[in-house]
Each structure stands twice: as structure tokens, then as C-alpha cells.
Amino acid sequence: MPLLVLGDADDVRGFRLAGVKALACSTERDLDRAICDCVASGGGPGSVVLVSEAVRRLAPARVDALTTRAGWPMVVVMPEK
């Protein structure tokens, strides 16, 4: 899993068109499930999870905790503008 995007339907559509694995998260439960799967898999060195700002707002404390932790995958929040 070198790159994974967690975003809304529009984000996911665009990244999938570019050949990037992307998961749509419209609820906090969707986000929680996606995060658990990503962290459990570990990803390996160099793996990155991009989280859209819209998805971050579903569970800001959870996403912010992941952006500051050590280890893989690295979690980065994409700004809206």
C-alpha cells in the first residue's frame, strides 16, 4: 500500500481515475474502519495515507493523532484549497 486516499466521493473518483487506491468515507464509522485497516496492515516504509479535510472533519481528534504518531503508514491531511 504505497499510497491510499481517504476522501469524499469526488476526491475518490478523481484519484481512482489517476490509478490511486482510494476509499470513500461519508461517516465516522467508514473512516474508523478505513483507519483500522490501514494501521493494521502497517503499510511498510514509504507508505502514505492522504486524508481529505472533509473526511478529517468526521473525526478530527482521531486523524490528528495519526498524523503525529511515529511509524508507517504516514498520514497526511490534504488541505481543501
Confidence of residue 1 (pLDDT cuts 50, 70, 90): low
- Count CB neighbours of 32 within 10 A: 14
Domain ranges for the chain: 3-78
Q: Which three cell numbers stand for residue 5?
A: 486516499
- What is the SS3 assignment for 74? strand
Beta strands in 1-81 (DSSP E): 3-7, 21-24, 48-52, 74-78
Instruction: Round the average pLDDT of the chain to a whole number and report it.
Output: 88
Q: 11-46, pLDDT tens digit by residue?
A: 999 999 999 999 999 999 999 898 888 777 766 788
d(CA 38, CA 34): 6
Tell me what pLDDT residue 80 has: 84
Distance, in Å, from the CA atom of 13 to the CA atom of 23, rounded to the nearest integer, reads 9
Full-model pTM: 0.87
Q: CATH for 3-78?
A: 3.40.50.10580
Q: Is the pLDDT of residue 52 over 70?
A: yes
